[in-house]
Amino acid sequence: MSAGNIPKHVAVIMDGNGRWARKRGLPRVLGHRKGVRVLEKTVENADAAGVKYLSVYAFSTENWKRSEMEVAGLMILFERYIKKKVGPLKARHGRIRFAGRRDRLPDSLINTIEEAEESTKNEPGIQLIICVDYGGRQEIADAVKKIIASGTAPEAVTEETLSAHMYLPDVPEPDLIIRTSGEERLSNFWLWTAAYSELFFTDALWPDFGREEFEAALASYAGRQRRKGGRIEEQ
């Protein structure tokens, strides 16, 4: 595969942990734990393939509706994962960032997030972006609030103004969005920046998503012609 056909930003909707656990008669949290290990491998695979940004949808603004036990279990998993992975990611010059609301997360998770962002902020390698308490509509609403608060005149607001006020304005739009588990929806992920993203759906449940599936997604992307509403884009 030529380096020119590698998507710069791959975004992943990691779906199917619960079904993976249910099929085995296990509690849902064990599906999430297996999902964490798959994420670890996916970061390595993405980095090895030359992907520069890997964003993952870990917890949506709607996920608070899940049972208290599952939500608490996920928050603990996120914190443990970040603490464990920040060192190895930094060792490969990777940077870790977060997108989403922070005001509803447990204090200890916010501290862990802030420390991880701070300690890797100058790393030039792959950026792992974890979307926690993230919602695309919320991101757009937050951008509008920031624009109004800045006193910008309504007639001065353009698409670029909106783009500049998203959570991570310096991150390029996702080239490829992968969703596992056979579901074919965006579910409020990256709504503003996903306008021209290529979509790849696989039946594999997230805990079964391995190197082969990742490579299949990259191969599918490499074979596509991106028009973005205009002429065919050189890959």
Amino acid sitting at position 231: R
Starting from the edge strand earliest in sequence, which strands make up the sheet with 9-13, in order?
Answer: 95-99, 127-134, 53-60, 9-13, 176-179, 198-201
| CA–CA dist 58, 181 (Å, integer) | 15
Instruction: Output the smallest distance, CB 61 to ligand FPP, in A.
Output: 12
| CA–CA dist 220, 185 (Å, integer) | 18
Per-position x/- string for 41-80, each x denoting binding to ligand FPP as judged by CB under 6 A, each - no binding: ---------------x-x----x----------x--xx--
Q: What is the DSSP string of 158-183?
A: -HHHHHHTSSSTTSPPPSEEEE-TT-
Whether 122 sits among the annotated catalytic residues: the reply is no
Partners of 57 in the β-ladder: 13, 131
| Contact call for residue 35 and ligand FPP (CB under 6 A) | yes
The nearer residue to ligand FPP, 131 or 143, going by C-beta atoms, is: 131
Binding to ligand FPP in span 100-159, by CB under 6 A: 130
Instruction: Output the smallest distance, CB 156 to ligand FPP, in A.
Output: 38
Is the CB of residue 224 less than 8 Å from the CB of residue 171? Answer: no
Instruction: Output the smallest distance, CB 18 to ligand FPP, in A.
Output: 2
The nearer residue to ligand FPP, 96 or 176, going by C-beta atoms, is: 96
Q: What's the half-sphere exposure (Cβ side, CA atoms, 13 Å) at 173?
A: 14
Which of 12, 42, 55, 81 lies at the binding interface for ligand FPP (CB under 6 A)?
81
Whether 63 sits among the annotated catalytic residues: the reply is yes
Which of 7, 9, 17, 204 lies at the binding interface for ligand FPP (CB under 6 A)?
17
Applying CB under 6 A, the residues found at the interface with ligand FPP are 14-19, 32, 35-36, 39, 56, 58, 63, 74, 77-78, 81, 130
